C-alpha cells in the first residue's frame, strides 16, 4: 500500500485501477497498521484517507471502529455522524454507533437519541431494533422496550429475547409469558440474570425495583432465575446485617 501511494501519481503506459486514486490505499494501509498494532501510524493513514474524495465512507466506518477499539468512543462517533448525515440508510454505521452508545452507562441518553434515529431510517434491521430495545429498557422505558422485544422474539423464539420480554412484562405488572419447556426455561433464566446484571450496571433503578416487586410472578415462569436472585438478595441482606 505504501508503494501504491508512492507511485500512484506517476504516468503509466497501461490502464490502471482507478481505485488507487481514491481513499482506498490509505484505508487498506490504516487497517493493516492497526492490525499490526502500530496505532499512531494507522491513525495517520486514516486521516490521510479522509482528505480524498471517493470511497471515504468505508474508510470512515473502519476509522470509527479503530477509534472505539482504542477506547476513544466519543471520537469514534464523529465519523459515524458524517456517514449517516448524507447516507441515512447506512446500516453498518447505525449499528456501530449503537454499539458504541450502549457501551457505557454515561452514553445512555445519547443511546436513546441515536437508536431512535437509527430505527426511523432502518426500521427492519434486527440488530438496530435490538439496540433500540436495549436503550429503552436500560433507561427505564420498559413499555417501549416490551413492544420491540415481543416483535423480535416472535420472529426468532430466542430464549435470550424471551428473557428480556419477560423482564419488561414483569416490570409493567403484566403476567409474564412462560417458556415452552425446561430446556428453554434454563436458557431464558441464564439470559434473565444477564439482563438483570446489565440493568444494574446501567443504574436502571426504577426498572430493577419494579422487577424485584414481581419476583413471585417471575418465579412461576423462570424458577431458576428466581432462585439465583433470591440467593443473591439473601446474601446481600446477611452482609448488610453483618456490617
Contact between 208 and 200 (Cβ < 8 Å)? yes
Query: Hey, CA dihedral for 165, 166, 169, 170, is it positive or negative?
Result: negative
Phi-psi bin for 55: left (phi > 0), alpha (psi -120 to 50), beta?
A: left
End-to-end CA distance of the chain: 63
- Residue 218, all three cell numbers: 417471575
Each residue's pLDDT, cut to its tens digit, for the chain (243 residues) gives 898 888 888 887 778 788 888 899 999 999 999 999 999 999 999 999 999 988 899 999 999 999 999 999 999 999 999 999 999 999 999 999 999 999 999 999 999 999 999 999 999 999 999 999 999 999 999 999 999 999 999 988 899 999 999 999 999 999 888 888 888 899 999 999 999 999 999 999 999 999 999 999 999 999 999 999 888 777 766 665 565
* Residue ranges of domains in the chain, CATH in brackets: 1-87 (1.25.40), 98-138 (no CATH), 140-243 (no CATH)
Specify the pTM: 0.89
Amino acid at each position: 500500500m505504501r508503494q501504491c501511494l508512492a507511485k500512484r501519481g506517476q504516468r503509466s503506459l497501461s490502464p490502471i485501477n482507478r481505485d488507487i486514486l481514491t481513499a482506498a490505499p490509505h484505508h487498506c494501509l490504516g487497517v493493516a497498521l492497526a492490525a499490526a498494532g502500530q496505532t499512531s501510524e494507522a491513525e495517520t493513514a486514516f486521516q490521510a484517507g479522509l482528505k480524498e474524495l471517493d470511497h471515504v465512507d468505508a474508510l470512515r466506518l473502519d476509522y470509527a471502529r479503530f477509534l472505539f477499539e482504542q477506547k476513544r468512543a466519543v471520537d469514534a462517533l464523529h465519523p459515524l455522524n458524517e456517514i449517516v448525515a448524507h447516507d441515512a440508510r447506512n446500516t453498518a454505521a447505525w449499528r456501530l454507533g449503537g454499539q458504541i452508545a450502549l457501551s457505557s452507562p454515561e452514553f445512555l441518553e445519547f443511546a436513546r437519541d441515536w437508536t431512535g434515529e437509527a430505527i426511523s431510517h432502518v426500521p427492519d434491521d434486527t440488530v438496530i431494533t435490538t439496540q433500540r430495545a436495549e436503550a429503552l429498557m436500560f433507561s427505564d422505558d420498559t413499555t417501549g422496550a416490551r413492544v420491540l422485544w415481543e416483535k423480535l422474539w416472535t420472529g426468532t423464539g430466542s430464549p435470550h429475547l424471551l428473557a428480556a420480554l419477560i423482564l419488561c412484562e414483569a416490570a409493567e405488572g403484566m403476567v409474564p409469558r412462560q417458556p415452552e419447556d425446561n430446556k428453554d426455561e434454563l436458557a431464558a433464566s441464564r439470559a434473565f440474570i444477564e439482563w438483570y446484571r446489565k440493568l444494574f450496571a446501567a443504574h436502571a433503578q426504577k426498572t430493577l425495583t419494579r422487577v424485584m416487586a414481581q419476583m413471585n410472578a417471575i418465579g412461576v415462569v423462570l424458577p431458576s432465575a428466581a432462585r439465583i436472585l433470591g440467593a443473591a438478595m439473601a446474601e446481600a441482606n446477611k452482609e448488610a446485617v453483618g456490617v
